[in-house]
Structure 1
Amino acid sequence: MKKNNIFREKDIMHYLSRYCDDPKLNVWHLSILTAILALGYRQGERRRIKVSRSKIMQLSHVHTLPTYHKYFKHLQDLGYIKYTPSYDPGYKSEVKLCKKRLSQNI
């Protein structure tokens, strides 16, 4: 395993531990956030992650659109992510993990 990947795994664990400490987040939030982190890890991206709804739903095991939309939007409202949609089929949408929320006292 590359040294860079070990550091990245520590970053993921940092994010996950912060998410788990927030009582406002439930299993659906955590599942979606974990899917986003997994995509970021695969892409080698720490904060700006290319996403598609279908891939997040697949990785998070969220199988209904209403559930996905509700909790994905809630994560935006809570300040954990910033979502930038792409309406061009040739480009994926982007999720930015917000450091500001992670640094706040929860």
Structure 2
Amino acid sequence: MAERMELPKHAFSAFFERIGDDRRLLPTHIGLVAALFYHHDCDNPHGHFHASRRKLMRFSRIRSIATYHKCLSELVAYGYLEYRPSWHPAKGSRFRFIIHGEGGING
């Protein structure tokens, strides 16, 4: 079994605390964040990763494409995520978590 690189404990701690404190976010937003986190690259927490709408909707239990896009656009607008859509069926769209490091700069 291949060993997985361990992230520093604090890499996503502040990010998830920010999400937990944000009263604008609903359970659908949290589900989508969980799905995105599942698909992100653990070896590169600050880098871009790809995921398809179909997989994200299935994992997050979002059934409506309109709800998916609403939650996604709000996560982008609220500063939690970068998103570049793709219409390539195999590649998926490109995402990146916006994780603020110490001193308030983007990590």
Measured against the shorter chain, the TM-score band is 0.7 to 0.9
Identity rate, percent: 23
Give the number of aligned pairs.
100
Residue 39 (structure 1) aligns with: 39
Higher helix share: 1
| Matched position secondary structure for 1:15 | helix
Cα gap change, 1:8/1:36 in structure 2, threshold over 3 Å: closer, same or farther?
Answer: farther
- Residues in 2 aligned to 1:99 and 1:12: alpha-carbon distance in whole angstroms: 7
- Residues in 2 aligned to 1:32 and 1:97: alpha-carbon distance in whole angstroms: 12
Runs (5+) with no aligned partner, structure 1: none
1:27 positional shift: 0.9
User: TM-score, normalized by length of structure 2?
Assistant: 0.74
Check the 8 A contact 2:50/2:95 in 1, yes or no.
Answer: yes
- Residues in 1 aligned to 2:51 and 2:89: alpha-carbon distance in whole angstroms: 12
Cα gap change, 1:8/1:49 in structure 2, threshold over 3 Å: closer, same or farther?
Answer: farther
Runs (5+) with no aligned partner, structure 2: none
Residue 60 (structure 1) aligns with: 60
1:12 positional shift: 4.0
> RMSD in angstroms over aligned alpha carbons?
2.6
- Residues in 2 aligned to 1:86 and 1:93: alpha-carbon distance in whole angstroms: 5
- Residues in 2 aligned to 1:64 and 1:54: alpha-carbon distance in whole angstroms: 11
User: TM-score, normalized by length of structure 1?
Assistant: 0.75
